[in-house]
A and B are shown apart, each in its own frame.
Chain A
Amino acid sequence: MSAVMTLVERELLRFFRQRNRVAGAIIQPVIFWILFSAGFKNSFSPGGTGTYPQFLLPGMASLIVLFTAIFSTISIIRDRGEGFLQGVLVAPVSRLSIVWGKVLGGTILAVLQASLFLLLGAVVGHTMGPLELLASIGVLGLMAVGLTGLGFLIAWPMDSIQGYHAIMSVFLFPMWLLSGAIFPIDNLDTWFGVLVYANPLTYGVAALRHAAGLGGNLSPLLCLSVTAGFAALMLVLCARSARRPAKGDLR
Chain B
Amino acid sequence: MVNAVEVSALTHRYGERTALDGVDLQVGAGEIFGLLGPNGGGKTTLFRILSTLLKPTEGSTRVCGHDPVSEAQLVRRAIGVVFQSPSLDLKLTARENLKHHGHLYGLSGEELRQRTDEMLGRVGLSERANEYTEDFSGGLRRRVELAKGLLHQPRLLLLDEPSTGLDPGARRDVWTYLEELRDKEGVTSFLTTHLMEEAEKCDRLALLDEGKLVAVGTPNELKARIGGDIITVEAEDATALQGAVRERFELDGQVVDDTLRIERADGHRFVPQLVEAFADGIESVSLGKPTLEDVFVQLTGHRFWSEPE
Q: Chain B's interface: helix, strand, loop or mixed, by majority?
A: loop
Q: Which A residues lie within 8 Å of B73 (CB)?
A: 92, 94
Binding site for A on B (CB under 8 A): 14, 48, 51-55, 73, 76-77, 79, 81, 83-92, 96, 100-101, 103-106, 108, 148
Determine whether the beta carbon of B104 is less than 8 Å from that of A249.
Answer: no
CB < 8 Å neighbour of A14 from B53, B77, B85, B91 = B91
Smallest beta-carbon distance A189→chain B, Å: 47
Q: Chain A's interface: helix, strand, loop or mixed, by majority?
A: helix
Smallest beta-carbon distance A91→chain B, Å: 4
Determine whether the beta carbon of A86 is less than 8 Å from that of B87.
Answer: yes
Determine whether the beta carbon of A10 is less than 8 Å from that of B76.
Answer: no
In order of increasing CB-CB distance, the 9 nearest A-B pairs are A87-B87, A6-B103, A91-B104, A92-B76, A83-B85, A83-B87, A92-B77, A90-B81, A1-B103
**Roughly how many angstroms separate A89 CA and B81 CA in the complex, as a whole number?**
11
CB < 8 Å neighbour of B83 from A3, A86, A250 = A86
Determine whether the beta carbon of A1 is less than 8 Å from that of B108.
Answer: yes
* CB within 8 Å: A-B pair count: 75
**Roughly how many angstroms separate A82 CA and B84 CA in the complex, as a whole number?**
10
Determine whether the beta carbon of B83 is less than 8 Å from that of A88.
Answer: no
Smallest beta-carbon distance B168→chain A, Å: 24
Instruction: Tally chain A residues at the interface, Cβ within 8 Å.
Output: 27
**Roughly how many angstroms separate A92 CA and B66 CA in the complex, as a whole number?**
14
CB < 8 Å neighbour of A13 from B83, B85, B92 = B92
Smallest CB gap from B112: residue in A = A1
Given contacts A5-B103, A83-B85, A90-B79, contact A17 B91 (CB under 8 A): yes
Determine whether the beta carbon of A84 is less than 8 Å from that of B88.
Answer: yes
Smallest CB gap from B45: residue in A = A250
CB < 8 Å neighbour of A83 from B83, B92, B100 = B83
Can you identify 8 A-B contacts, CB atoms within 8 angstroms? A3-B104, A5-B103, A83-B86, A83-B87, A85-B87, A86-B87, A90-B52, A92-B106
Q: A1-51: which residues lie under 8 A (CB-CB) from chain B?
A: 1-3, 5-6, 9-10, 13-14, 17-18
**Roughly how many angstroms separate A89 CA and B108 CA in the complex, as a whole number?**
20
Smallest beta-carbon distance A14→chain B, Å: 5
